[in-house]
Amino acid sequence: MTLQQLRAVCEIVANNYNISRAAIALHASQPAVSKMLASLERELGAGIFVRTKGRLTGLTEFGGNVCLLARRMLHDATSLADMAADCFSQESGHLRIAATHLHARYAVLKAVKSFARAYPNVGVEITQANPAVVVELVAAGETQLGVTTLPNAIPDQVLTLPAHKVERCVITPFAHPLLELKKIGLHEIVKYPMVAYDHAFVSGRAVQEVFERQGLRPRIVLKATGADVVKAAVVAGLGIAIFQTMAVDPEEDKGLAIIEARHLFPSSQAHIILRRGQYLRRFTYDFIARLAPEWTQKKIEARLSAR
Amino acid sequence: MTLQQLRAVCEIVANNYNISRAAIALHASQPAVSKMLASLERELGAGIFVRTKGRLTGLTEFGGNVCLLARRMLHDATSLADMAADCFSQESGHLRIAATHLHARYAVLKAVKSFARAYPNVGVEITQANPAVVVELVAAGETQLGVTTLPNAIPDQVLTLPAHKVERCVITPFAHPLLELKKIGLHEIVKYPMVAYDHAFVSGRAVQEVFERQGLRPRIVLKATGADVVKAAVVAGLGIAIFQTMAVDPEEDKGLAIIEARHLFPSSQAHIILRRGQYLRRFTYDFIARLAPEWTQKKIEARLSAR
DNA sequence: ATAACTTACGGTAGACGTAAGCATC
DNA sequence: GATGCTTACGTCTACCGTAAGTTAT
């Protein structure tokens, strides 16, 4: 039994039972992967994949178990390599992060800025995805950490550390009637035309529900999917918008006025997602500290070992 | 990184940092093992063992972590092989059991008798050891299961399933005055000379403490370390003895009379010891069922996955 | 015809064992 | 000198890639 053979099995599964694609992912020729699989199945004396009409179409029951154990073994192998890298030069390697668009754009990017200066030899990769996929990527070990609001289902392979809160505010052009008020409420906001996130976005839906619960129907003049588009629309005077406070900066966003509205809209909690049993490089802990200073290495290790 | 390299590391540790012995255990030449280690350390770029004066004397901090992960990976590998063997022919393989002397001699041996008939191609090995070592052997994966009373410390790698109780009785030669009594008590027993287990044995000490607590001092005419010696001494009329009920059989032990005494002496609990995360062959479950019918495969799997 | 897996075959890297070399006790 | 690890070297396996073969869409 070889780690390479197990790698082949996992990669074949990850590529929809297509040996050719798996071969590409493994930087190997297609027959080589075919033989890795064949030799492993011969050694174990049991089929791992279901073959129909000369193609792989699925895992046998046994194959499913193989896959689970193989994944764990391969994760352990990378943990070993990571640990080793930490022993001498802790300053080179790769840090892969999965995050939802907003966190990637602001919280993560801000942390990366200072991190990249401190670790010039660490390559940082940010993958954008929705919350469920972020968690999956971390669970699969594709990325060392994730930053997202929590999706509905959380596999027990991952650990979630609450980080910063996402508060909401109202953004308006300069010189808007709302700016005159001492304290704003939903009824004032709904008087003015509004630029909104598309429904598909979690934050968009959360805001919409607040209005619905009060029986209010804001007049949406534009729906957009990008934060920058929404901002530009507000600056252009198309309407006001409900926005994540973290996503707007008085310095950068000239032409925008910000009205705190955390009392009106639910704040959501950003979480850092880690994979249980994954060895984290020192610089990964450092990165997390830049993202959420309250999560020191000691605290994280305590959480990882507990339960 | 190769599984073989990891095997070498673990075996070197298991053999007191002696590469030569590890080589023998691995059925390989000594230079081969030396090179496995060297190539692994070179690949990882970090020392695993502490070398002083040209010899290995211990693990580095990193090496300790390597060892832990390596062990898990190798366990996973054997689990894979075991699972595979279960897929087609579930009737050949090896079953290794660690047990204390008494359980090995009676409970385990009895189960092995019928098991061996059912699985002629499964080789059974019984290792005798004291409770602490039994648990260690299971924790290390050296044996699939252990049968013993619980030692003081139980590592969390193992799972303990309560099995049969060990009750005590009084054995006497035929035609002994005690046999006339309807119900016996400590005060009656202490009147007669006694053959006893050596103090060193847990069961010997447990019995002795019962008398001491009552301020009674039985007259010990012989101390012996083997159950068979004690029995023979009783038959010979040297005295009576307190014995584990399971260790005496009216059929086999001619010349002995048995008086139940479970109300006088504490009964101890035998436990089946399993390693968490270890894949158990079907025949292993079958063996456990012969040992303790209440522990079905389903119940065991539930316990293994819980916590 | 194309996509996809397997078989065939030749080259090469690396793994292993024997033998020799060094160090320590 | 005995024990124990490393280096050196020759052999040989087995792994990999190229290329051809087979089968289903």
Would you call B69 and A76 a contact, using CB atoms and an 8 Å cutoff? yes
Q: Does B68 touch chain A (CB under 8 A)?
A: no
- Measured between alpha carbons, how far is B192 from B184 in angstroms, rounded to an integer? 12
Query: What pLDDT was estimated at residue A103?
Result: 86
Strand partners of residue A202 = none
Indicate whether A201 pLDDT > 60.
no
Structure tokens of B62? 């990193």
Q: Does B91 touch chain A (CB under 8 A)?
A: no
Residue from A40, A49, A69, A282 whose CB has the most chain B CBs within 10 Å, to mutate: A69
Whether the Cβ atoms of residue B126 and residue B97 lie closer than 8 Å to each other: yes
| B304 CA, D14 C1': Å apart | 39
Name every chain B residue with its beta carbon within 8 A of the beta carbon of A44: 80-81, 84
Using one digit for the tens of pLDDT, what is the confidence trace for B281-300?
999 999 999 999 999 999 99
- Measured between alpha carbons, how far is A258 from A247 in angstroms, rounded to an integer? 11
Instruction: Please compute the mean of the pLDDT values over residues A35-47 and round it to a whole number.
Output: 90
- Measured between alpha carbons, how far is B227 from B186 in angstroms, rounded to an integer? 22
Indicate whether A224 pLDDT > 80.
no
Q: What is the DSSP letter of B280?
A: -
Using one digit for the tens of pLDDT, what is the confidence trace for A56-107?
899 999 999 999 999 999 999 999 999 998 877 667 888 899 998 888 888 8
Instruction: Please compute the mean of the pLDDT values over residues A211-215 and round it to a whole number.
Output: 83
Could you tell me which of A71, A222, A224, A235 has the C-alpha nearest to residue A155?
A71
Name every chain B residue with its beta carbon within 8 A of the beta carbon of A72: 72, 76
Chain A closest-CA separation from residue B151 CA (Å):
24
How many angstroms from the chain centroid is the CA of residue B41? 36
Query: What pLDDT was estimated at residue A204?
Result: 65
Cα dihedral A32, A38, A44, A49, rounded to 10, equals: 110
Q: How high does pLDDT run on average in chain A? A: 86
A303 touches strand C (CB under 7 A): no
- Measured between alpha carbons, how far is B204 from B106 in angstroms, rounded to an integer? 17
Least confident piece of the model among A8-17, A65-74, A217-226: A217-226
Which residue is nearest nucleotide C4, judged by alpha carbon to C1' distance? A55
Would you call B88 and A45 a contact, using CB atoms and an 8 Å cutoff? yes
Would you call A46 and B88 a contact, using CB atoms and an 8 Å cutoff? yes
Alpha helices in B214-281 (DSSP H): 227-235
- Measured between alpha carbons, how far is A296 from A294 in angstroms, rounded to an integer? 6
Which residues numbered 27-46 in B keep a CB inside 8 Å of some CB on A? 44-46
Q: How high does pLDDT run on average in chain B? A: 88
Query: What pLDDT was estimated at residue A7?
Result: 94
- What nucleotide is nearest A41 when CA is compared to C1'? C6
C-beta neighbour count of B123 within 10 angstroms: 12
Query: What pLDDT was estimated at residue B202?
Result: 57
Whether the Cβ atoms of residue A39 and residue A33 lie closer than 8 Å to each other: no
Query: What pLDDT was estimated at residue A254?
Result: 82
- What nucleotide is nearest A4 when CA is compared to C1'? D15
Query: What pLDDT was estimated at residue A200?
Result: 47
Q: Does A85 touch chain B (CB under 8 A)?
A: yes
Sign, Cα dihedral of B206, B209, B214, B220: positive
- What nucleotide is nearest B16 when CA is compared to C1'? D4
Report the amino acid identity of residue A24: I
Name every chain A residue with its beta carbon within 8 A of the beta carbon of B72: 72, 76
Q: Does B1 touch chain A (CB under 8 A)?
A: yes
Residue from B39, B50, B83, B87 whose CB has the most chain A CBs within 10 Å, to mutate: B87
Query: What pLDDT was estimated at residue A198?
Result: 64
What angle do the packed helices A30-44 and B61-87 form, to 10 degrees? 70
Counting residues of chain A whose pLDDT is more than 70, the rounded percentage is 96
Cα dihedral A84, A74, B305, B66, rounded to 10, equals: -20
CB within 8 Å of B304: residues ≥ 6 apart: B159, B274, B276, B277
> In a 10 Å sphere around its CB, with 0-12 CB exposed, 13-18 middle and 19+ buried, how is residue A73 labelled?
buried
Whether the Cβ atoms of residue B46 and residue B37 lie closer than 8 Å to each other: no
- Measured between alpha carbons, how far is A69 from A66 in angstroms, rounded to an integer? 5
CB within 8 Å of A97: residues ≥ 6 apart: A104, A108, A112, A124, A125, A126, A127, A143, A144, A145, A146, A147, A287
Chain B closest-CA separation from residue A307 CA (Å):
8
Would you call A77 and B80 a contact, using CB atoms and an 8 Å cutoff? no
- Measured between alpha carbons, how far is B218 from B156 in angstroms, rounded to an integer? 40
Backbone angles phi, psi at A121, to 5 degrees: -95, 5
Structure tokens of A14? 């990850």
Question: Exposure pattern of B252-264 as b/e (b: 16+ CB <10 Å)?
Answer: ebeebbbbebeeb
Using one digit for the tens of pLDDT, what is the confidence trace for A247-280?
888 788 888 888 888 888 888 888 999 998 888 8
What angle do the packed helices B30-44 and A61-87 form, to 10 degrees? 70
Mapped onto helix, strand or coil, the DSSP state of residue A185 is: coil
Counting residues of chain A whose pLDDT is more than 90, the rounded percentage is 28
Length of chain B: 307
- Measured between alpha carbons, how far is B41 from B19 in angstroms, rounded to an integer? 15
How many angstroms from the chain centroid is the CA of residue A116? 19
Q: Does A68 touch chain B (CB under 8 A)?
A: no
Confidence band (pLDDT; 50, 70, 90) for B31? very high
A192 touches strand C (CB under 7 A): no
For A175: left if phi > 0, alpha if psi spans -120 to 50, otherwise beta; the answer is: left
Query: What pLDDT was estimated at residue B15?
Result: 93
Query: What pLDDT was estimated at residue A203?
Result: 60
Name every chain B residue with its beta carbon within 8 A of the beta carbon of A80: 1, 44, 65-66, 69-70
Search chain B and give the residue with CA nearest A307: B307
Q: What is the DSSP letter of B152?
A: S
Least confident piece of the model among A97-106, B119-128, B200-209, B219-228: B200-209
H, E, C per residue of A17-47 = CCHHHHHHHCCCCHHHHHHHHHHHHHHHCCC
Q: What is the DSSP letter of B240?
A: B
Confidence band (pLDDT; 50, 70, 90) for B210? confident
Would you call A85 and B45 a contact, using CB atoms and an 8 Å cutoff? yes
| A50 CA, D19 C1': Å apart | 27
Would you call B81 and A3 a contact, using CB atoms and an 8 Å cutoff? no
Whether the Cβ atoms of residue B224 and residue B198 lie closer than 8 Å to each other: yes
Query: What pLDDT was estimated at residue B19?
Result: 94
Alpha helices in B190-296 (DSSP H): 202-213, 227-235, 282-291
Higher local confidence (pLDDT), B89 or B288: B288
Confidence band (pLDDT; 50, 70, 90) for B107? confident
Could you tell me which of A94, A91, A128, A122 has the C-alpha nearest to residue A108?
A128
Strand partners of residue B196 = B223
Counting DSSP H helices and E strands in chain A, the numbers are 12, 12
Of A147-161, B155-169, B282-296, give the range with the top mean pLDDT. B282-296
Least confident piece of the model among A86-90, B74-78, B92-96: A86-90
A19 touches strand C (CB under 7 A): yes
Whether the Cβ atoms of residue A244 and residue A203 lie closer than 8 Å to each other: yes
How many angstroms from the chain centroid is the CA of residue B126? 8
Protein CB footprint (7 Å) on chain C nucleotides: 4-8, 15-20, 22-25
Let me know the angle formed at the C-alpha of A158 by A153 and A163, rounded to the nearest 5 degrees.
Answer: 90
* C-beta within 7 A of nucleic chain C, residues 128-157 of B: none
Search chain B and give the residue with CA nearest A278: B69
Q: Which of B2, B79, B84 sits opposite A45 (nearest CB)?
A: B84
User: How many A×B Cβ pairs under 8 Å?
Assistant: 66
Chain B closest-CA separation from residue A279 CA (Å):
10
Name every chain B residue with its beta carbon within 8 A of the beta carbon of A1: 3, 77, 80-81
Instruction: Please compute the mean of the pLDDT values over residues A10-35 and round it to a whole number.
Output: 93
